[in-house]
Chains A and B, each alone.
Chain A
Amino acid sequence: MTVAHWEHFAHEADMGVRGYGATEAQAFEQAALALTAAITEPERVELREQVQIACEAPDDELLFVDWLNAIIFEMSTRKMLFARFEVRIENGQLTATIWGEKTDVAKHSPAVEAKGATYTALRVARENGQWIAQTVVDV
């Protein structure tokens, strides 16, 4: 039985985000939480507003990078942080609903700003009965 979870992995200059899940979509959701956790503690982010995201790419790995970059774009332009992610993936198309709130420096004390998801250490795969999705984020 897979327990969905996320973790960071070390990159000398930046930050690796990795999500595990029973499905690819769940691994993507967990990796998104890892992205938020690179910036602030996800528990500090209240779920006040929701945003819809859609992206598509020729393969799972490019789709994963697009997914993280779509979140980064929403964080950047809406000045928001997100802490709940619901992802659906069908035929290389991803749709998602994400929940969060406006960035509040006093409340979230954000450590870094995510500039973009890279293709470094990028991997989306199913192994030992669970999905893993990971890459390095430039911060």
Chain B
Amino acid sequence: MDTALFKRRSDYEWEIEPHGPMRVPAIIYADEALIRAMDHKVYEQAVNVATLPGIVKASYAMPDAHWGYGFPIGGVAAFDPDEGGVVSAGGVGFDISCGVRCLHTGLVKDDILPVQKALADILYHQIPAGLGSTGAIRLNTAEMDAMLTGGAKWAVERGWGGEADLDRIEERGQMKHAKPGHVSEHAKKRQRDEMGTLGSGNHYLEVQHVTEIYDARIAQGYGLKPGDVVISIHCGSRGLGHQIGTEYLKKMVIAAGQYGIRLPDRELACAPINSDVGQEYLGAMRAAINCALANRQILTHLVRQVFTDLVPKSRLPLLYDVSHNTCKVEKHVVDGKERELYIHRKGATRAFGPNHPDVPAVLRPYGQPVLIGGSMGTGSYVLAGLNEGEAADAPTLMEGRASAASRATVSARGPRLGPIGETRAFSSACHGAGRAMSRHQAHRTWKGREVIDELASRGILIRSPSSRGVAEEAPGAYKDVSAVVDAAEHAGLARKVARMEPLVCVKG
């Protein structure tokens, strides 16, 4: 995009001033190169979101933003129900509560190398991945509703994992106020045999090793050190979430008209939070969040079985589990006043700073872990959420010259401010690299076999049912994830903690 379209608030903050029907500005966090490379559709979509009723402060886009549907992917927007605010099915997306879970293994790279190939093959065999794959679990009607209400807590109660896992999941593993009664039979039918499946497209399970630590104090708090092997699981609410998204999108297209909401794009389909359709969607969407949390919990159990069999000394506790397609009710301070807002994050990760009450006690001094998935050939990152006071200092900190002492100072400042300060983009950060090229173009540019061979020569083993799927997900089809997380850090959205590179990638 042309940078002249924006008012440059800083090197990493680009504002589109309100014009036409925009109620608030739109703000994109990115460096100049990322802005220039971004599709113009991100501009259009960020502007469209800014026109929706009850939007608070601004329509935001993260550094990995790309052309989505309705909202940009990487979009964040908050709505106030008392000001006619809306909830948007398009603002959450089809893959409700898609997210990333990261597990420790207690192993280092040298433990994995002798068994790397066997591990890749067994994981590929044991983890249902790709179109048409089914899980071993079948849910009857009562169990389906229990799962949709209980989330990961339900899964743990059924023996898939332990109580300690729940401490390391957003919402403690269970999204409250889920209403399985507002989830259609069609949606439940789509999920009947999909529990414990990875899905397809950009979803994956990776065995990774830590290659770099940027913040030793926080890394230690998170239990990460160089060479450590971790597992990252990227997937969502499967068919159930997709069907809920589909059905409520249509209901909201019709409802928006009835409520006199002018939609610049049908995909922005929304309804007032204080309306029947709005409340029904929230109940169904929260049930889908529980489905995603339960699904990642069951996958965790499957991965633990594989590791325990293959490397008996391994132990796989959770580092953390984040969702990046959600609408959640959160308290945020806006212009000095605390308000309860409905925060849509579509392809954006919640990033609570140190001392936030919703961060598990053991992680609270460090800020919430923000798990960023890269493409299969590049790195993934662990970041930490920041408070606004820290964010203001971030640009100097991020020049790469900051000493350990100055980092400590900045970190120490967070707790004094507490969680009640204003937050940047409602405590949100990026979620991944973000696509830079369409699947269509990627498919024409690369051959899956060549991508697999090239990655194998770099010590990364790919297992996938589809060579074309691998080509469409080729590392070159994505933005540079390092540039994205650097921009997120410079913009004060989150702090870099560690970088991981894959050893094994199971693609759906």
Question: Nearest Cβ distance between residue B40 and chain A, in whole angstroms?
Answer: 11
A103, B130: Cα distance in complex, Å? 11
Q: Which of A8, A11, A116 has the most chain B CB atoms inside 10 A of its CB?
A: A116
Contact flags (1/0) for A108-139 with B, using CB distance below 8 Å?
Answer: 11111101111110100000000000001011
Stretch at the interface among B1-9, B263-271, B329-337: B263-271
A12 touches B435 (CB 8 A): yes
B435 touches A13 (CB 8 A): yes
A15, B250: Cα distance in complex, Å? 20
A62 touches B95 (CB 8 A): no
B465 touches A11 (CB 8 A): no
B93 touches A105 (CB 8 A): no
Contact flags (1/0) for B172-210 with A, using CB distance below 8 Å?
Answer: 000000000000001001101000000111000000000
Contact of A12 among B66, B94, B200 (CB under 8 A): B66
Q: Which residues of B contact A73 (CB under 8 A)?
A: 186, 190, 243
A15, B486: Cα distance in complex, Å? 29
**8 Å CB contacts to B: which residues of A69-126?**
69, 72-73, 75-77, 79, 102-105, 108-113, 115-120, 122
* Cβ-based interface call for B69 (8 A): yes
* Cβ-based interface call for B469 (8 A): yes
How many chain-A residues does the 8 Å CB contact rule pick out? 41
How many chain-B residues does the 8 Å CB contact rule pick out? 52
CB-CB nearest in chain A for B203 = A113
Q: Which residues of A contact B73 (CB under 8 A)?
A: 13
B132 touches A115 (CB 8 A): no
Contacts A139-B201, A139-B439; is A111 near B472 (CB within 8 Å)? Answer: yes
Q: Which of A14, A77, A108, A112 has the most chain B CB atoms inside 10 A of its CB?
A: A112
A110 touches B465 (CB 8 A): yes
A66, B134: Cα distance in complex, Å? 25
* Cβ-based interface call for B466 (8 A): yes
A107, B414: Cα distance in complex, Å? 56
Q: Which residues of B contact A12 (CB under 8 A)?
A: 39, 41, 66-67, 435-438
Question: Nearest Cβ distance between residue B262 and chain A, in whole angstroms?
Answer: 15
* Cβ-based interface call for B249 (8 A): yes
Q: Which of A14, A38, A75 has the most chain B CB atoms inside 10 A of its CB?
A: A14
B189 touches A77 (CB 8 A): yes
Contacts A111-B466, A138-B94; is A77 near B438 (CB within 8 Å)? Answer: no
Contacts A122-B266, A139-B201; is A10 near B243 (CB within 8 Å)? Answer: no
B95 touches A119 (CB 8 A): no
Contact of A62 among B67, B250, B465 (CB under 8 A): B250
Contacts A12-B435, A66-B250, A138-B93; is A113 near B131 (CB within 8 Å)? Answer: yes
Question: Nearest Cβ distance between residue A72 and chain B, in whole angstroms?
Answer: 8
* Cβ-based interface call for A39 (8 A): yes
Q: Which residues of A contact B467 (CB under 8 A)?
A: 109
B468 touches A109 (CB 8 A): yes
A52, B204: Cα distance in complex, Å? 34
A66, B254: Cα distance in complex, Å? 14
* Cβ-based interface call for A65 (8 A): yes
A13 touches B440 (CB 8 A): no
Question: Nearest Cβ distance between residue B101 and chain A, in whole angstroms?
Answer: 20
A120 touches B70 (CB 8 A): yes
A10, B106: Cα distance in complex, Å? 43
Contact of B66 among A13, A119, A138 (CB under 8 A): A13
A15, B469: Cα distance in complex, Å? 13
Q: Which residues of B contact A119 (CB under 8 A)?
A: 69-70, 90, 249, 253, 265-267, 269
What are 6 residue pairs bridging A and B, where the CB atoms are less than 8 Å apart in the complex?
A: A12-B66, A14-B69, A73-B243, A76-B239, A77-B189, A139-B439
9 interchain residue pairs of minimum CB distance: A103-B132, A113-B200, A110-B131, A119-B266, A120-B69, A10-B438, A12-B67, A111-B469, A115-B242
Give chain A's interface residues, CB within 8 Å of chain B: 8-15, 38-39, 58, 62, 65-66, 69, 72-73, 75-77, 79, 102-105, 108-113, 115-120, 122, 136, 138-139
